[in-house]
Amino acid sequence: MADGSDLLLEVNDLKMHFPIQKGVLRRTTGYVKAVDGVSLSIKKGETLGLVGESGCGKTTTGRCIVRVYQPTAGEIIYHDEGESVHIDRLDRQELKVFRRNMQMIFQDPFSSLNPRMTVLELVGEPLLAHGIARGQELEDRVAEMVAAVGLRVEHLPRYPHSFSGGQRQRIGIARALVQGPRLVVCDEPVSALDVSVQSQVVNLLQDLQKDLDLTYLFVAHDMSVVRQISNRIAVMYVGKLVEVAESEELLRNPKHPYSETLLSAVPRPNPHHAMQRLNLEGEPADPANAPSGCVFHPRCRYMEDVCTTDVPELTELRPGHHVACHFADQLELQGIAYVESGQS
């Protein structure tokens, strides 16, 4: 999709199909095509936002990239210092060494932390496991990281259960960033946080990105947060990307009907705001039995016959603006209307 040497990550035609098993014999009766042909690229130091319907495959995409899952098909290529590593082909031993370069911050701060480890152990473990630091140096680095995410040194001996949701999410962020990764898959890293801490964490992620030259894949549902942090935004629907563009372009001039629907439902922190929400009619699509043609056609307001039979490819409509819709160049879609900022 993009050219040249400034790419950090390149994903080509990624697929992750989970078998559906039935009966006592666990016979495979079909597949949940959670990710079904995703191609994307992320530049060094860039943030790519990934948004889309719940269950459309965002987390699965992230998990394939950091190889929590072995993808069913496709390539995941990591470029650094003139070398290219095929992440999808690393064996267990190679992966263990390579993991340092890429980390994931999880959606669920409750189940992702081992309840029997203290904060010091949780944040220190990756350093120990990779032989990066130990003893006093380890404690110092952990203390520094913990302070950077807004926790206190007094918290170090405590266990996760005694922290609130937001505090636990900060522990997760500290744990992911402590070993200095280059690529971080952030899976809804701020959705458990109050708006003030959310601001602090977003600012922190942006500062760390600059200081440490980090590259983010940022999955979130809050479109204003995604806009804040992302250079580009990718919109996903049932296992496929339907639109990719620069953030402001995507918000103002969405070209895919699903993006339009999504943007129409963004809630505003203003009780006087009158929503003009476009409803999504019909059943949510099922990744085990995806619709023919365009995956969005059963729910699309602009559907024509061709949509039921032909799969629209993700194509570049304008420089940098990729859309998968047969009518992308004809539709007049509604985006976010900007208002002059009232404050500062």
Q: Which residues bind ligand ATP (CB under 6 A)?
A: 18, 32, 34, 54-60, 107, 161-166, 194, 287
Q: Which two tokens stand for residue 41?
A: 């690229």
**Binding piece for another protein, criterion CB under 8 A, among 35-43, 82-90, 94-102, 330-338:** 330-338
Site string for another protein, 284-303 (x = CB under 8 A): xxx-xx--------------
If one asks whether residue 280 binds another protein (CB under 8 A), the answer comes out as yes
- Binding partner of residue 72 among another protein, ligand ATP, Mg ion, none, CB under 5 to 8 Å per kind? none
Sheet-wide strand order for 321-323 = 102-105, 183-187, 215-219, 47-52, 232-237, 240-246, 321-323, 315-318
The least distance separating ligand ATP from the CB of residue 287, rounded to whole angstroms, comes to 5
Task: State the DSSP string of 155-216.
Answer: GTT--GGGS-HHHHHHHHHHHHHTT--SEEEEESTTTTS-HHHHHHHHHHHHHHHHHHT-EE
Shortest distance, CB of residue 109 to ligand ATP, whole angstroms? 9
Would you say 59 or 179 has its CB closer to Mg ion?
59
Q: Which does 280 bind (CB under 5 to 8 A by kind): ligand ATP, Mg ion, another protein, none?
A: another protein
Q: Quote the least distance from Cβ 229 to ligand ATP, whole Å.
A: 17
Of 194, 304, 310, 316, the one binding another protein (CB under 8 A) is 194
Distance (Å, whole) CA 15 – CA 283: 23
Is the Cβ–Cβ distance between 179 and 24 less than 8 Å? no
Q: Does 53 bind another protein (CB under 8 A)?
A: yes
198 binds, among Mg ion, another protein, ligand ATP, none (CB under 5 to 8 A by kind): another protein
Choice between 57 and 254, CB closer to ligand ATP: 57
**Using CB distances below 5 to 8 A depending on partner kind, what does residue 51 bind out of Mg ion, another protein, ligand ATP, none?**
another protein
Residue 2 carries which side chain, given as an amino acid letter?
A
Residue that has been written with the tokens 């879609």 in this structure: 333
Nearer to another protein, 51 or 307 (CB): 51
Query: Encoding tokens for residue 344?
Result: 């500062």
Rounded least distance, CB 344 to ligand ATP, Å: 27
Identify the CA nearest to 321 among candidates 266, 225, 253: 253
User: What DSSP assignment string belongs to 211-270?
Assistant: HHT-EEEEE-S-HHHHHHH-SEEEEEETTEEEEEEEHHHHHHS--SHHHHHHHHT---S-
